Every structure is written in structure tokens, then in C-alpha cells.
């Protein structure tokens, strides 16, 4: 285990990934966990965390608190589908899950994880949610940190890229025929600012009841943007912040009143 963690710490990251491959450490394996069965690379953060315990336990708690049978869950920035699988189990056959992940290299991994867990209520979309509908350049991080890939600026110009079609949040909800979403988990490496600052109408309609949002302040600062501005904007659109589980969850005020 220590060796897997060590190669992940090598910088630059592509050198760490190459070292891990050279040592034969990146062979994927199937792990059975309390959250489900996952096909993981043991050198990634997801892999090492699942080998020793739980990956992002705070977010796991958020899903358990806010998802229920029949609910609708959107996993924006699904990566390998870990939270997609957990959400699928929680909403059950009467619920609906949409996993949004643009990286072509992760599509077979997500599908394998869905198969291993018999998740038949999930739609996987290879796209990005962005400030507008159009084409974007997706900067790819190393294979040991695929979760760091993003369309947001701030990545080195030498980073590998792939072109991906993106849609605005409003267009996505319309095309996917989503009239309400009980929980949207958002982890998109700085692009969250562009998505929500250009979706005021959607936010004010409270179509999305709760947003579990990771604001990547360091990425935003490199772009000359402020995570606090985004935070205040979401509040101004009629949401309240709940950070009792350690993850920022914005709840539509109308929903809070119903649950009080």
C-alpha cells in the first residue's frame, strides 16, 4: 500500500503515472466495499482510499441523508462512477440517476462499475455542463488523478486535451426532460463558477432542490475569480448553506420550509 501511495506523490504527475505503469502497479482490480463493488486502479486516490476504508465519507453521508427511494440524482463530474453507484442504490428502481463525465478514458470504467453493481437506473452522458452550449477543450490530468481534469482554465498548456461537446445547465435540464432534481453532486474542478454564474434563472426556479458543491478556490484564484462570489450568488438565488456534514450543501429555501 505504501508503494502505491508513494508513486502517486511523485511530481510531475505524469512521471508518477509512468513509474506506476513501469512497476506494474496500475492493474485494475475488483474491490468489494460497504458502498458497492468497484473496478479500481489501486494507485489512484479512489483506489487507495477504498483499499483502506471509505472514499470521501462526508459526501457519502450527504447522499445517504438527501437521497431516498424514487429520487432523482445528478452526478456532475462522475469520474469512475463511485457516487453514481451509491446514488443508484439509494434511489432504487423507481428513482433516476444521471452521471455526467466527459473523459473518454473513463467511459468503460463507469460502465463496468455499473454492471458490477446491477445499476439499471443510470444514464451516463459523455458531455460537460458549462456556461454555454458548444465545444470545449478538456484538459486531462494524469491517469492517477483523472478527477482533476477540467474545461476550466489554469492547467499547463502542455496538458493533453480532448474536444468535448458541452451544454448550459438550462439546456441540459430541458434536453434531459428533468423537471426536478433532489440532489446534484458537483465536482468539476473550477468550472462550477461558469456553470452556476450563468444559470441564475435555473437556480431561482429551484428545479435543483439541493446542490452538494465543491468550490475549487485555488483554481478560481488562478483565473482571477472568487469562490465567495459564487457562494453569495447561489444564496441570492434562494438557497441556504448547510455544512453540517463537512460538505457544502445548498438547499432551496422552499425545500427547507417544507421540511421544517
pLDDT digits (tens, 9 = 90+) for 118-138: 999 999 999 999 999 999 999
- Lowest-confidence pick of 5-14, 144-153, 171-180: 5-14
Is 7 part of a structural domain of the chain? Answer: no
Sign of CA dihedral 192, 195, 200, 204: negative
**C-alpha pair distances (Å), 254 with each of 68, 100, 164, 168, 235:** 19, 27, 35, 24, 13
For the stretch 61-96, pLDDT in tens is: 999 999 999 999 999 999 999 999 999 999 999 999
Structural domain for 167, as ranges: 56-259
Q: Do residues 202 and 211 make contact, with C-beta atoms less than 8 angstroms apart?
A: no
At 204 the pLDDT is 97
Is 61 part of a structural domain of the chain? Answer: yes
Given a cut of 50, is residue 260 above it in pLDDT? no
* Mean pLDDT for the stretch of residues 26-41: 93
**What SS3 class is residue 28?**
coil
What global pTM score does this model have? 0.92
The tally of domains found in the chain comes to 1
Is 141 part of a structural domain of the chain? Answer: yes
Beta bridge partners of 72: 96
Average pLDDT score over the chain: 91
Is 240 part of a structural domain of the chain? Answer: yes
At 26 the pLDDT is 76
Rounded to whole angstroms, the Cα distance separating 38 from 57 reads 16
Given a cut of 70, is residue 13 above it in pLDDT? no
At 259 the pLDDT is 43
At 254 the pLDDT is 74
pLDDT category of residue 52 using cuts at 50, 70 and 90: confident
pLDDT category of residue 158 using cuts at 50, 70 and 90: low
Is 72 part of a structural domain of the chain? Answer: yes
Rounded to whole angstroms, the Cα distance separating 247 from 55 reads 13
Q: In which residue are the cell numbers 472514499 written?
A: 55
Rounded to whole angstroms, the Cα distance separating 247 from 241 reads 10
Q: What's the grid cell of residue 249?
A: 450543501
**What SS3 class is residue 213?**
strand
Is 76 part of a structural domain of the chain? Answer: yes
**Residue 204 is part of a domain; what is its CATH number?**
3.40.50.150
Amino acid at each position: 500500500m505504501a508503494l502505491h501511495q508513494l508513486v502517486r506523490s511523485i511530481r510531475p504527475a505524469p512521471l508518477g503515472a509512468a513509474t506506476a505503469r513501469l512497476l506494474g502497479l496500475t492493474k485494475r482490480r475488483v474491490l468489494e466495499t460497504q458502498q458497492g463493488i468497484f473496478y479500481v486502479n489501486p494507485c489512484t486516490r479512489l483506489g487507495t482510499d477504498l483499499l483502506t476504508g471509505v472514499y470521501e465519507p462526508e459526501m457519502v453521508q450527504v447522499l445517504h441523508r438527501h437521497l431516498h427511494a424514487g429520487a432523482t440524482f445528478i452526478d456532475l463530474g462522475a469520474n469512475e462512477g463511485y457516487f453514481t453507484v451509491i446514488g443508484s442504490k439509494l434511489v432504487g428502481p423507481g428513482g433516476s440517476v444521471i452521471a455526467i463525465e466527459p473523459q473518454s478514458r473513463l467511459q468503460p470504467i463507469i460502465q463496468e462499475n455499473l454492471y458490477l453493481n446491477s445499476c439499471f437506473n443510470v444514464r451516463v452522458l459523455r458531455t460537460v455542463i458549462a456556461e454555454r452550449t458548444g465545444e470545449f477543450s478538456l484538459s486531462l490530468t494524469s491517469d492517477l488523478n483523472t478527477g482533476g481534469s477540467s474545461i476550466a482554465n489554469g492547467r499547463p498548456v502542455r496538458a493533453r486535451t480532448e474536444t468535448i461537446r458541452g451544454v448550459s445547465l438550462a439546456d441540459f435540464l430541458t434536453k434531459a426532460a428533468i423537471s426536478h432534481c433532489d440532489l446534484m453532486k458537483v465536482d468539476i474542478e473550477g468550472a462550477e463558477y461558469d456553470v452556476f454564474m450563468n444559470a441564475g434563472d435555473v437556480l431561482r426556479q429551484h428545479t435543483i432542490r439541493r446542490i452538494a458543491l465543491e468550490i475549487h478556490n485555488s483554481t478560481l484564484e488562478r483565473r482571477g475569480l472568487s469562490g465567495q462570489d459564487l457562494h453569495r450568488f447561489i444564496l441570492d438565488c434562494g438557497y441556504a448553506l448547510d455544512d453540517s456534514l463537512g460538505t457544502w450543501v445548498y438547499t432551496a429555501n422552499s425545500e427547507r420550509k417544507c421540511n421544517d
